[in-house]
Structure 1
Amino acid sequence: MKNLIIRLLANAVALAVASWLVSGITLEGATTSRRVVTLLIVAAIFGVVNAVVKPVVKVLSFPFLILTLGLLTFVINAVMLWLTSWITGKLDVQFHVAGFWPALWGALIISVVGMLINTVLPEKAEIH
């Protein structure tokens, strides 16, 4: 459970950085606390999309992943972010990705921030 919460917070930080750096990604809220809640909701949805949809897409696109030497992964990550934006729009959550290019840049930033956060965070605690 602790690792799930840490991953949720790491995704929220990565999404916040992406919305701050990419002009086509918007995160709205009247107050800072409302934006934080929105980020946590979006991070949870993004985590579910990455856990459920992304593996299926990767398996179906495996030959193209090999053909492009893995570069298609960036496009898949962008589509997952774009799908998250679509889902949040249906749920009336104030997060929006304006198109493919902002999704691609946002996915790249989220990947980099996620890698940086994972290097700082400790490994899973082992129970002895």
Structure 2
Amino acid sequence: MLWRMKLLLKWLLNAGALLLVAAVFSGVQVESYASALWAVVVISLLNTLVRPLLVLLTLPVTLLTVGLFLFVINGLMLWAASGLLGGLHVAGFWAAVWGAILYSLLGMAIDSLLARLFPQ
């Protein structure tokens, strides 16, 4: 039961983080909080199903760039989500990369907060 509450809270906070990214960065636009929630669900699914395959296929490039290519993969996941959803708009590839960097930083802060609120 506790893990469900933690997961729901994480989704709600990540939707808020996506709205914050849209507020501070003009390359990402989110129409509403509901659109942000759907975007978080789609991004989570893409990160679970597609991202591991991309990481594996691009492992040599990722090693050569000392892991920096992972930012490109995160940007691709955000860009793909914007292509699948009507309420999330990303201006282009580089806007997706920068938006994904901001979103990832906020996501790390959320994970840290939730780890303190819900210790294992």
TM-score (norm 1): 0.83
1:9, distance to aligned residue in structure 2 (A): 1.8
State how far apart, in whole Å, the 1-side matches of 2:55 and 2:70 are.
8
SS of the residue corresponding to residue 89 of structure 2 reads strand
What do residues 12-61 of structure 1 show as CA deviations (whole Å, max 9, x unaligned)?
Answer: 12211111111111112xxxxxx111111111111111111111100111
CA RMSD of aligned residues (A): 1.5
State how far apart, in whole Å, the 2-side matches of 1:9 and 1:21 are.
19
Match of 1:9 among 5, 9, 12: 12
Question: What residue is the counterpart of 1:18 in the other structure?
Answer: 21
Question: What residue is the counterpart of 1:45 in the other structure?
Answer: 42
State how far apart, in whole Å, the 1-side matches of 2:57 and 2:47 are.
15
Match of 1:121 among 110, 114, 117: 114
SS of the residue corresponding to residue 122 of structure 1 reads helix
Q: Which runs of 5+ in 1 are unaligned?
A: 29-34
State how far apart, in whole Å, the 2-side matches of 1:2 and 1:50 are.
21
State how far apart, in whole Å, the 2-side matches of 1:56 and 1:10 are.
27
What do residues 48-92 of structure 1 show as CA deviations (whole Å, max 9, x unaligned)?
Answer: 11111111100111111111100001111011100010011xxxx
Q: Which runs of 5+ in 2 are unaligned?
A: none
Q: Which runs of 4+ in 1 moved over 2 A?
A: 1-4, 122-126
State how far apart, in whole Å, the 2-side matches of 1:121 and 1:4 are.
10
Question: What residue is the counterpart of 2:69 in the other structure?
Answer: 72
Q: Count how many residue pairs are aligned between Structure 1 and Structure 2.
A: 116
